[in-house]
Structure 1
Amino acid sequence: MDRNDSFREFMAAHQQSLTRTAYLLTGDRHLAEDLLQSVLVKVLGRWPVTNPPAYARKALVNQYISWRRRRVSTAELPSAEPPERSYSSEEPTIVRIAVQRALSRLPPKQRAVIVLRYYEDLTEQETAKVLNCSVGTVKSTAHHALARLRALAPDLAPRFSELEGRKTVEGARR
């Protein structure tokens, strides 16, 4: 199998997950597609890599944070429209939209920690590795981000507390 075939195989297996992560980071379907495309060009340039899903996820988060730093001075307008495609979820659409709006108001690093920990279901150690920081930084960033989410969306505060509690219990078991 040549390099392009193995990359196509990787994409077939992980495109949906990477697209979801990009969307959760950017909050916009078109920006997510642009972000993922730019990352995949970089990943293909370094192909083959060890642990492609982790490498692609880390590149996605780093590129997102880099884009956010550059876009701070631009006039971005948040979108009030839900995504055109819904991802399979038991949550009602209204709750998903409210969570997405609250997420969009977090700083890039806090948003990345929340997406990786609670949407991608990474451990604190895996999240720290992706973000190139310490486990303590992941813990404190997640704590501050969840507190900010509770302040931004008070109606959803019990849901965020439930997430934080569930991860703490899971972390104690690992």
Structure 2
Amino acid sequence: MKFRRGRDTDESFTAFVAARSHRLIAHAELLCGHREQARDIVQSVLVRAYQRWSRIEHDDPYGYVQRSVTNAVTDWWRTAHQRHERAVDVVPEVPGRQDNALEDRGALLAALDLLTNRERAVVVLRYFDDQAERDVATILGISVGTVKSTCHTALRKMRIALDDEVPSPQSFHGTKEQS
């Protein structure tokens, strides 16, 4: 049986991409740590999702595509040793932009870079995508206990990294004032 895409299917898919692609890219970026790679992964997943759109659009298309993105990032990690490109650790500064959100984002991505791939996936799925521990375990193919312990370890690492970035109170006040 040959599938024919209709105008309604195209419009439905286009609306989905417009509404959800930014969140999917952010999800992928948090998992892999590289914005351009995240965009490539999401684009590849969306191409495959479009081919199956008539089967997935009426169920849970975001859940389906999100899981596909997670799986694609996992595949990307597994094939890292086969790639010749190297991602840069430091993104060049954007001239003229002094934005705390950009600094906070950079600190968050740096803290995520300290985690193992599994720790990073658990943190992103639990806190960025707001998945239940049980769902994270299912998505990653691990036990709920492993999700809990991995999350605990990962958050501890991130807290330490982020605490190192916060200036101490003495750096704000210099020396102690005399009364």
What is the TM-score when the length of structure 2 is the normalising length?
0.72
C-alpha distance in 2 between matches for 1:137 and 1:17: 26
1:79 aligned residue (82, 89, 92): 89
Amino acid at match of 1:58: R
RMSD, aligned α-carbons: 2.6
Q: Equivalences for 1:17-166 in 2 at 5 Å?
A: 17-47=23-53, 48-49=55-56, 50-72=59-81, 74=83, 76-81=86-91, 92-155=101-164
SS in 2 for 1:2: helix
**5+ unaligned residues in a row in structure 2: which ranges?**
1-6, 167-179
Does the aligned pair in 1 maintain the 2:137–2:144 contact within 8 Å?
A: yes
Amino acid at match of 2:121: A
Identity across aligned pairs (percent)?
37
Residues 146-170 of structure 1: CA distance to partner in whole angstroms, max 9, x if unpaired? Answer: 233245444269xxxxxxxxxxxxx
SS in 1 for 2:107: helix
The higher radius of gyration belongs to: 2
Does the aligned pair in 2 maintain the 1:28–1:79 contact within 8 Å?
A: no
Which runs of 4 or more aligned residues in structure 1 lie more than 6 Å from their structure 2 counterparts after TM superposition? none
Aligned residues: 152
C-alpha distance in 2 between matches for 1:44 and 1:141: 34
Aligned-pair CA distance for 1:138: 1.6
Going from structure 1 to structure 2, the CA distance change for 1:53 and 1:102 (only over 3 Å counts) comes to same
C-alpha distance in 2 between matches for 1:156 and 1:55: 37
